[in-house]
Amino acid sequence: MRGFVIAAMACLAWSTASAEDSSCTRIRSADMGWTDIALTTNTAAIVLKPMGYEMTNTLLGLNITYESLKNGQVDVFLGNWRPAQDIEFKQYYDEHWVEVLGTNLTGAKFTLAVPAAAAEAGVHSYDDLAKFADQFDHKIYGIEPGSNQPLLDMVAAGRHGLKGWEVVESSEQGMLAQVQRAVARDRWIVFLGWQPHPMNLNFKLAYLTGGDVEYGPDFGGSTVRTIARPGYAAACPNLARFFGNLAFDIDYENAGMKLMLDDGQDAPAAAAALIKAHPEKLAAWLDGVTTRDGRPALAVVQAALAK
């Protein structure tokens, strides 16, 4: 009887794996150059490799990422920060041009921030910025083009008295370099801040209230989801289960991002270090997941990581 049960389980695992489309072997993901998404995407790639899958990552703008998911040119994206993206890209969800695989982070925030010195001088909300326009040089520092639309819309509409201000678009690294220079020179700067990120450890900063229209309530209180091209879960059910399981927490991502930004590790090295430091997470990530050839994934991945 025991032999029959084992054989039946093996058959079920094989049938689940074989039910996947052949294209599932290669996973195409997108990234904006954001440190948190680089960490989580490389974590997925490291875990998936011993399972028989190859994950490649391409740097794309946010608008292009959504279009690439819609057109089937990208398979997954681990950076659906919501509610901000759900508002900006509402049609993609309404029309089912993308599908949600799971939530990979809760407790995040995403809104404008200022150095503590500016907050101590009276800058507490979006509505305070215009009172100190000269100190801020009428500029708001954002990240990659395509990721700052709520700020561009805010300035165009003149909300919070910010008509005529400039939204400086560059990159996460470029923006943070500008923040570093401003803080070192004791100058004021208003910029797009978020948690998790080592900026919260490296700078004394304050998040601004009053940006509910732009980024939602509770300082842009956010969750981050993993989304995929339409039909991905049906074509690749084993991978859909893995990505649905793949969840992180604020402390985990802060630690990994600090390895990258402060200690100079590249994303794969930081991701590998965090996986080894938190082996308990593998059991949750690989619950009910098999290798490409149908074996239980947990033991295979643990053996590969132990080498």
One fold for 22-106+223-306 and 109-220: yes
Domain at 109-220, CATH homologous superfamily:
Glycine betaine-binding periplasmic protein; domain 2 (3.40.190.100)
Give me the residue spans of the domains in the chain. Answer: 22-106+223-306, 109-220
Query: Do residues 183 and 203 make contact, with C-beta atoms less than 8 angstroms apart?
Result: yes
Task: Please give the Cα distance from 245 to 178 (Å, whole number).
Answer: 37
Share of the chain above pLDDT 90, in %: 81
Q: In this structure, what are the phi and psi dihedrals at residue 195, rounded to the nearest 5 degrees?
A: -130, 125
- pTM (predicted TM-score): 0.77
Binning pLDDT at 50, 70 and 90, where does residue 162 land?
very high
Q: Buried (b) or exposed (e) across 173-201, using 16+ Cβ within 10 A? A: ebbbebbeebbeeeebbbbbbbbbbbbbe
Two structure tokens written together for 15: 């049938």
**Where is pLDDT greater, at 32 or 159?**
159
Buried/exposed code over 202-229 (b: 16+ C-beta within 10 A; e: otherwise): ebebbbbbbbeebbbeebbbbebbbbbb
Confidence of residue 15 (pLDDT cuts 50, 70, 90): very low
- Express each pLDDT in 196-241 by its tens digit: 888 988 899 999 999 999 998 999 898 999 999 999 999 999 999 9
pLDDT of residue 7: 43
DSSP H helical ranges for the chain = 2-18, 35-48, 62-70, 84-88, 90-94, 116-120, 149-157, 172-184, 199-202, 212-215, 217-220, 232-235, 237-245, 250-261, 267-277, 280-285, 297-306
| C-alpha distances out from residue 67 to 74, 103, 124, 139, 296, Å | 9, 21, 37, 30, 34
Per-residue burial over 43-62, b = 16 or more CB atoms within 10 Å of its CB, e = otherwise: bbbbbbebbbbebebeebbb
The CB density around residue 30, as the number of other CB atoms within 10 Å, is 25
Is residue 2's pLDDT more than 80?
Answer: no
CATH class of 22-106+223-306: alpha beta
User: So what's the pLDDT on residue 22?
Assistant: 84
CA gap 172, 62 in Å, rounded: 13
pLDDT for 106-132, tens place per residue? 999 999 999 999 999 999 999 999 999
The answer to whether the CB of 222 falls within 8 A of the CB of 81 is yes
According to DSSP, the residues that pair with 139 across neighbouring strands are 166
- Helix (H) or strand (E) holding 76, with range, is strand 76-82
Residue 136 has phi, psi (to 5 degrees) of: -95, 0
